Chain A
Amino acid sequence: MYALIALGYTLVYGVLRFINFAHSDVFMVGAFIGFYAGRGVSSASTTSGIIVMLVAMLGCAALGIIIELLAYRPLRNRSKLTVLITAIGVSLLLENVGQMIFGATPQPFPEVFPARKFEIGQLVVSSKDLVVLIVTLGLLGALRFLVMKTKIGTAMRAVSFNPQAASLMGINVNHVISFTFGLGSAFAAAAGILWAYKFPKIDPLMGITPGLTAFVAAVLGGIGNIPGAALGALLIGVIETFVRGSRWSTWTEAIAFVLLILILLFRPAGLLGKLQPEKV
């Protein structure tokens, strides 16, 4: 799940070289769209789960594109810091508007996929974990195909490398950037649904902690690097689970930030990232 959120950070960073701090709130909006859409479906079935997820992904893709258009595009040629602060502003805006519309009290998230338990020998696997795993892997695979094998994916990589040269190929850079925001936001929505499905309580501030953790995962793997985001997320997930099971369990949420500090000290480009000299 961290992987899905981390990918959104990494996709946007890869193309625009800035951290979209509002990403974690798009994740929250995704969960809420799922909440309302989930009440609309009659019973929990795989089809209804998929429909709820698609609705949320489309809704958030639109939201991401609108945020980029209204908040970030006018600042395209300003300093990175300006955009970064704007992103924090958008994040606070979404959180507070969320509290206005959805209310600040946590709400129970409906069962969108059917729940079952499987026993494999002594191992008990809940269908929740399976759904999370399958959806995550499926989306990661789809993203990899999209970025590496399709025309729009190649254009994303081209824009990421050199937007000016890309425009000389006839690529409409603004369209590619919108597409990237839509894609990243759709992934955040999918993560939001999975998160709410696994921990079925949602509120407008639910995005903050997983969002920050996923951001650390993206940095850990090497920001701007898609396999890196997945690897970083896997590592953070495993480490958090181990810490939660140990006697330092109260430190679970702190551990990601300890990792962030360590990675920035010793390998600032991340595990799979390449250090690029910043042009001044």
Chain B
Amino acid sequence: MLEVKNLHVSYGAIKALHGVSLSVKAGSIVTLIGSNGAGKSTTLRAISGLVKPRAGEILYEGQNIAGLPAHQIVARELLHVPEGRMVFANLTVQENLMMGAYLQHDKNIIAAELELVFKTFPRLKEREKQAAGTLSGGEQQMLAIGRALMSKPKFLMMDEPSLGIAPLLVKTIFEKIVEINRTHGITILLVEQNANLALEISHYGYVLETGKIILQNESAVLRQDPKVRSAYLGG
């Protein structure tokens, strides 16, 4: 479904990615793990159009989307839940969700999606009229995911959904990620520092180090890999 080939990205003179290649099959959960600054977020930002790649191809459903502006990529139902959640703190929960459905003009579909989001995250329903800035970190993460779901995505990229969230909620959110994948049939590319959790729920994994993919395999195999264990799974 998504095929990244030899992706290069630089920020000014600093090279962030040196030829990253990866592929994601429809219906699967694929994870991208690696330490801080390895280029995980940059990879997602390049796919979603927030940064322009210097070279390489991003094939999504057979078409090269590299270099397209972000809003056009959203129109292809490829959604990015950014790191740090980036909910609109000045808007209410409901307004945030409506922004997620920005490109959707059919009111019936919006209503149906809203119901689905509230069913997945009942907490958001309780907080519907509240300003998003007053939510806890975990609730904001739910909102960020819910907001992305409002656009009825086929492909969802999530950047560090566990970042800065109470451990108890992390578990809930990861359960929801699996649920979104299974019941809604949404393909997921997950970037995560918590490699343990990420490899547990994903089918396939890539290990990124200083802008290059150094390892890739079935997640179950990666979990047993001695290098991965010592570097990312705490022995």
Q: How far is the CA of A167 from the CA of B95 in the complex (A)?
A: 15
B111 within 8 A of A: no
Residue A40 lies at the interface, judged by CB distance under 8 Å to chain B:
no
Q: Is A157 close to B, CB under 8 A?
A: yes
**Other-chain residue from B87, B91, B102 in contact with A171 (beta carbon distance below 8 A):** B102
- Any A CB within 8 A of the CB of B174: no
Residue of B71, B87, B95 near A172 (CB, 8 A) is B71
Chain B residues with CB under 8 A of A132? none
A170→B103 contact, CB < 8 A: yes
Interface set, chain B 75-116, CB cutoff 8 A to A: 75, 79-80, 82, 86-91, 95, 98-100, 102-103
B145 within 8 A of A: no
Is there an interface contact between B82 and A165, defined as CB atoms closer than 8 Å? yes
Interface size class of A (residues with CB under 8 A): 10 to 19
Report the Cα distance A158→B102, complex, angstroms. 11
Chain B residue contacts of A166, Cβ below 8 A: 88, 99
Please give me the residue from chain B that is nearest to A172 by CB atom: B71
A223 to B88 CA separation, bound complex (whole angstroms) = 19
Q: Which residues of A contact B87 (CB under 8 A)?
A: 165
Residue B202 at the A interface, CB < 8 A?
A: no
Assess A169 versus B102: contact at CB under 8 Å? Given A158-B91, A161-B90: yes
**B74 contacts A by Cβ under 8 Å:** yes
0/1 interface trace, chain A 154-188, chain B, CB 8 Å (1 if under): 11011011101111111111000000000000000
Of residues 120 through 137 on chain B, the ones whose CB sits less than 8 Å from some CB of chain A are: none
**Cβ of B187 under 8 Å from chain A:** no
Closest to A171 in B: B102
> Which of A158, A160, A164, A172 lies in contact with B99, CB distance below 8 A?
A158
Name the A residues within 8 Å of B103 (CB-CB).
170
Residues of B within 8 A of A162 (CB): 86, 88
Cβ of A151 < 8 Å from any Cβ of B?
Answer: yes
Residues 150-188 of chain B, each 1 if its beta carbon lies under 8 Å from chain A, else 0? 010000000000000000000000000000000000000
Task: For the complex, give the distance between the alpha carbons of A170 and B74 in Å.
Answer: 5
A168 with B98: CB separation less than 8 A: no
Q: Which residue of B lies closest to A167 (CB)?
A: B70
8 Å CB contact of B88 from A161, A167, A172, A173: A161
What residues of chain A have their CB less than 8 Å away from a CB belonging to chain B?
Answer: 151, 154-155, 157-158, 160-162, 164-173
- Sample of 10 more A-B contacts, CB < 8 Å, known A157-B88, A167-B49, A170-B103: A154-B99, A158-B91, A161-B89, A161-B91, A162-B88, A164-B50, A168-B48, A168-B74, A170-B151, A172-B69
